[in-house]
Amino acid sequence: MGTDRAKHIDIAKGISITLVVLLHSQLAPYIYFITEPLSLVRMPLFFFLSGFFFQLH
């Protein structure tokens, strides 16, 4: 059941999911300096990375 997964891609997906959650949380006003500069790339990054390795079986 071993699969060859690219760990750096999984890490990038995790970071983008975390950014989305943080933006929608009550912490958003306190971490504005983190979420605002990355606001243009957080969702496209997640979708690109998810679709990049999608395979139909």
Digit-coded pLDDT (tens) for 36-50 = 777 787 778 778 877
Long-range CB contact pairs, 19-28, < 8 A, 24+: 20/46
Answer yes or no: is pLDDT of 1 > 60.
no
Q: What is the 3-state secondary structure (H, E, C) of the chain?
A: CCCCCCHHHHHHHHHHHHHHHHHCCCCCCCCHHHHCCCCCCHHHHHHHHHHHCCCCC
**Stated pTM of the model:** 0.58
Percent of the chain predicted with pLDDT > 70: 89
Mean pLDDT over the full length of the chain: 76
**pLDDT reported for residue 2:** 56
